[in-house]
Amino acid sequence: MKTQIFILVIGILIMFSLTNCTTIRPGEVGLKQRYGVLKSGTFTGGVKIRSPFSAKIIKINTRIIEHKTSLHLPTKDGLEITAEVSLFYHVKSESARYYYTKFGENYDNGIVISALNSSARESSILYNAKELIVIREELEKAITEKIKTHIVSFGYSVDNFLILDLTLPPEIAQAIKNKITAEQTSLQTVIDIERKKKELAYDIDKQRIENNYNIEKQLQAANFAIEKQKKEAERMQIEAEAIKKAQQTINESLTDKMLKYKSLEISKNLVTSPNSKLIITDGKSVGIHNDISDNK
């Protein structure tokens, strides 16, 4: 009986001690409050024992929280764009005490949301709608810095800010689409012009090469004809020189005695000829004769 009572008492004490334990999980910071007064320091992960009557362990979440939302942002040119954004933030561990004194145990992100809205509008109003598409990264950095400025004093820390999508007004979207189409058309036109230039240059080079070839061919033919004429002229000159030398030789060989000898030969031939003839000569010059036909 005594043993059972002892075991029961031990069990009650264990249960009572367990009900006075608090577990601080990863991503949480614990604050100790006694009689409504916060004690200095914070608790990190692990099991913490507290007094059941006078002490209380308050847990503050320090994990990163994602806040995703749609924002309607004004622009410099009086239009409005829709932005899908995502903000990652958390409560700093070293600021847990200050945060609790401001907001209590409930995790209040109203300040963060307000800071996000105001920071995004303050940044977008500096640009035209079309510019925001080009400077998305620059806009992200500007909004991030403004959010940090607004919420750092409340114990928050900004981990990241992303612009997931930007939806432009229909008229701006159509204008951009038309511009892109015009640029593509212009680029294609430039490509076509360059291609035609290359084709024309190729045709010109081809024609030039063909013309040069034909000219070279004609020059060769002309040079050949000139060379042929030169050879022919040289041949004729050589032939004329030969005839001249032959005539000169003949002239030099025609002496008076030779002429007289030739005249005698002619006369002899006339005399011995069977035809009837009349020979008249002075005995010095070549004979002059007339043939008289026998049938006359």
The DSSP string of 60-99 is EE-S-EEEEEEEEEE-TTS-EEEEEEEEEEEE-GGGHHHH
Mean pLDDT in residue range 189-194? 91
Confidence of residue 125 (pLDDT cuts 50, 70, 90): very high
Beta strands in 122-275 (DSSP E): 156-167
Q: What pLDDT, on a 0 to 100 scale, did the predictor assign at position 111?
A: 83
Residue 30 is which amino acid? G
- Mean confidence (pLDDT) of the chain: 77
Does the pTM exceed 0.95?
Answer: no
Identify the CATH homologous superfamily for domain 65-168: Band 7 domain (3.30.479.30)
- Which of 9-18, 41-50, 148-157, 253-262 is least confident? 9-18
Digit-coded pLDDT (tens) for 207-220 = 999 999 899 888 88
Residue for token digits 């010059």?
285
User: For residues 152 and 231, what is the distance between their CA atoms, to the nearest angstrom?
Assistant: 108
Q: What pLDDT, on a 0 to 100 scale, did the predictor assign at position 141?
A: 93
Digit-coded pLDDT (tens) for 280-293 = 666 555 444 445 44
Helix (H, G, I), strand (E, B) or coil at 110: helix
Digit-coded pLDDT (tens) for 18-71 = 445 666 767 777 677 676 556 666 666 655 555 554 466 777 777 888 999 999
Q: What pLDDT, on a 0 to 100 scale, did the predictor assign at position 259?
A: 66
pLDDT over 90 at 167, yes or no: no
pLDDT over 50 at 13, yes or no: no
Are 128 and 76 within 8 A, CB to CB? yes
- CA distances in angstroms from 198 to 185, 190, 206, listed in the order given: 20, 12, 12
pLDDT over 90 at 142, yes or no: yes
Specify the DSSP element, H or E, that contains 279: strand 276-280
Q: What pLDDT, on a 0 to 100 scale, did the predictor assign at position 18?
A: 43
Where are the chain's structural domains? 2-61, 65-168, 256-292
- Which of 102-106, 168-172, 244-248 is least confident? 102-106
Mean pLDDT in residue range 70-98? 87
pLDDT over 50 at 16, yes or no: no
Q: What percent of the chain has pLDDT over 70?
A: 66
Helix (H, G, I), strand (E, B) or coil at 257: helix
Helix (H, G, I), strand (E, B) or coil at 293: coil
- Which of 8-22, 48-62, 107-121 is least confident? 8-22
pLDDT over 60 at 162, yes or no: yes
